[in-house]
Amino acid sequence: MYIKNLVLKNFRNYGGEKFEFSPGLNVLFGKNAQGKTNCAEAVFYLCTGTSPRTRREKQLVKSGETAADISCVCEGRYGEVEISAHITDGGREVKVNGNKITRNADLMGNIFAVFFSPQELRLIQDGPDERRRFLNVSISQLSRPYFVALSRYNKILEQRNNLLKNRDLDLVFETLPVWDAQLCKYAAVVAQKRAEYISKLSPLAAEAHAYLTDGAEELIISPEKRYKGSEEELEKRLFDELSNNYDRDIRLGYTVSGPHRDDLDITINGADAKNFASQGQTRTAALAIKLAEVNVFKDACGEYPVLILDDVMSELDLPRRKKLVGRTDGLQTIITCTHAERVLYGRNVNKIMIEGGAIKR
Ligand SMILES: Nc1ncnc2c1ncn2[C@@H]1O[C@H](COP(=O)(O)OP(=O)(O)OP(=O)(O)O)[C@@H](O)[C@H]1O
Ligand SMILES: [Mg+2]
């Protein structure tokens, strides 16, 4: 699938602009702070309903304005899809082919996108939150049941945590099993879909990593080991785990077990990546995971997602830059960089220069 065009009005530093993209390589280039990342962000936002940079939508609206309007037209297997978003201080209204959607679940899955920026190093370096966020955004695009189960799980979890702080212990002990039955039902869906996803991602990431490092390094991603078995088994096991730990959870005032505490085990040549990888190794591992994500989407839906590479070229050495570009054959790629990269010469590239929140024509 590929995005044909993108229209931005009062989005970040853009007043009004229309981008025409090619199905292959698109390079957004220009000096720092001109609006390259802003454009890439808008694309990802229309695909997933989430910004890769912020959770505060208000930041997306141009300073001094009350609303941002963005839209894009995408060509995919099932024809054209138009997605638009009207973003204000008070919320947003998203439309797919002109029809207003009320839930983000209805947006996901229309246009698949993979976003990579230097910030993605956090996927390796930071705590488990970042890795769960990656899983959630990626799997939600592929699976509506996952997105729905995750939303419900989080809602019930919040209620459970509030209940744990209640002083009326009789009420707490009486209510917990009721909440937990619901909670575990959704937890099992989330855990299973994650395990399924990781089993697909892991060999693809190992392959991409071997490609980027010429086979010099081995990347292994392992899921939570406790998630073996069917959905029913997972549900039962988690329910027992929660039931056996009421006292602990009440004492702490929050729920200790469950998918909200999941992590991924990432090792490079056998050493834990978070604690031992160098900057370059971290970057390469993060990139390998993202390239693997591209292929997971391709395998799941039969067509490539849109690949957005924000500012990654300058961070890679020349051989890796070349290899990365080599991997973009056959899929729409939107790359931002400060100057039109030499590795991109000779290729059929749609170059767009950005200056001060507008295309320099
Ligand atoms: N809501 C907003 N209203 C107005 N301007 C904004 C808003 N949000 C961000 N900006 C401005 O947009 C400008 C461009 O940001 P962007 O991150 O797209 O730059 P860039 O071209 O990717 O630069 P770099 O090469 O440094 O990554 C910044 O100067 C920033 O202050
Ligand atoms: Mg940028």
How many CB atoms are closer than 10 A to CB 11? 28
pLDDT in tens, 17-69: 999 999 999 999 999 999 999 999 999 999 999 999 998 999 999 999 999 99
- Quickly state the pLDDT bin for 339 (edges 50, 70, 90): confident
Instruction: Fill in the amino acid letter for 280.
Output: G
CA of 60 to the centre of ligand 2 (A): 15
Query: Does ligand 1 come within 6 angstroms of the Cβ of 53?
Result: no
Q: In angstroms, rounded to a whole number, what is the distance separating the alpha carbons of residues 24 and 2?
A: 8
Q: What is the mean pLDDT of residues 309-331?
A: 88
- Quickly state the pLDDT bin for 100 (edges 50, 70, 90): very high
Identify the residue whose C-alpha is closest to ligand 1 atom 29: 33
CA of 112 to the centre of ligand 1 (A): 24
pLDDT for 81: 96
Query: Does ligand 1 come within 6 angstroms of the Cβ of 338?
Result: yes
For ligand 1, mutation pick of 6, 28, 34, 56 (most atoms within 8 Å of CB)? 34
* Burial of residue 165, with CB atoms counted within 10 A of its CB: 0-12 exposed, 13-18 middle, 19 or more buried: exposed
pLDDT for 346: 66
Evaluate whether 258 touches 238 at the Cβ level (below 8 Å): yes
Instruction: Say how many Å lie between the first and final Cα of the chain, rounded.
Output: 27
Q: In angstroms, rounded to a whole number, what is the distance separating the alpha carbons of residues 74 and 31?
A: 28
pLDDT for 343: 62
Q: Where are the alpha helices (DSSP H) in 29-167?
A: 36-48, 122-125, 128-142, 144-164
Please, what are the domains in the chain?
Answer: 1-111+305-361 (3.40.50.300), 126-301 (1.20.1050.90)
Evaluate whether 13 touches 35 at the Cβ level (below 8 Å): yes
pLDDT for 342: 67
Evaluate whether 72 touches 6 at the Cβ level (below 8 Å): yes
pLDDT for 344: 73
Q: In angstroms, rounded to a whole number, what is the distance separating the alpha carbons of residues 113 and 44?
A: 6
Query: Per-residue pLDDT for 116 more than 70?
Result: yes
